[in-house]
Homo-oligomer: A and B are copies of this chain.
């Protein structure tokens, strides 16, 4: 740990260093809704945006975090009992004005996790003042900093990639069934999908391994699947709806 406002020990440029943070946009699907994890900022008036909801994140700790990715993993771990989640970089936002404390740049990561078990949910909600919020609700909440803009970008990236990748599989507890996976796609994209096309696509992409039958609440039981390689998402040969169906013909 370092002392308060230290003179930097390392050399560098002769001007002021910006503040550097890492924020994480953590998505999951709970109760048929796409949700994002938000935390409430402290009420202390010395902090910017006291009491507002914000994306989980914070300053890089130069003494603890070996890299940006490690820092994101740490923040993710602090908020959720992460279970080999999907974590990728989203981008960075930096400007004079985005933080009242001074020139600040944030590196934003993007995580997909399965819905928390009830026990965990209670723990994390209680201990960390964190909350799973449906994304559109979150966007109406006047988030701290430029987090609304960041969340918008994250949702856009998620929806964009979902059109041609297996990302939604990382939002489910394993093993899961194809109907469950299809439902997850539909929730993220906000539109219904054709069952036959969906199944062909998933199975052709070879990213699932069978894991025995799973019985549902009613009707025929379904095959359970696990993700073959949790390190990377499968990429489909085409997007789901190539552009928009633009019928020039009347």
Q: Give A contacts to B, CB under 8 Å.
A: 1-20, 46, 58-63, 66-68, 89, 91-97, 101-103, 105, 107, 235, 237-239, 242-243
Contacts and interface: CB of A to CB of B under 8 A. Distances in A.
Contact of A238 (B10, B12, B95, B238): B238
Q: What 4 A-B pairs have minimum CB-CB distances, sorted nearest first?
A: A10-B102, A237-B242, A67-B95, A13-B59
Nearest to A22: B94
A96 B69 CA distance: 12
A57 to B, nearest CB: 12
A101 to B, nearest CB: 5
Interface centre among A59, A62, A89 (most CB of B within 10 A): A62
Contact of A16 (B2, B18, B67, B243): B2
Nearest to A4: B14
A23 to B, nearest CB: 12
Contacts of A243: 235, 237
Nearest to A244: B237
Given A17-B17, A19-B10, A20-B105, A67 B92 contact: no
A46 B13 CA distance: 12
B238 A60 contact: no
Given A5-B7, A102-B11, A95 B66 contact: yes
Contact of A60 (B63, B103, B107): B103
Contacts of A94: 20, 60, 67-68, 107
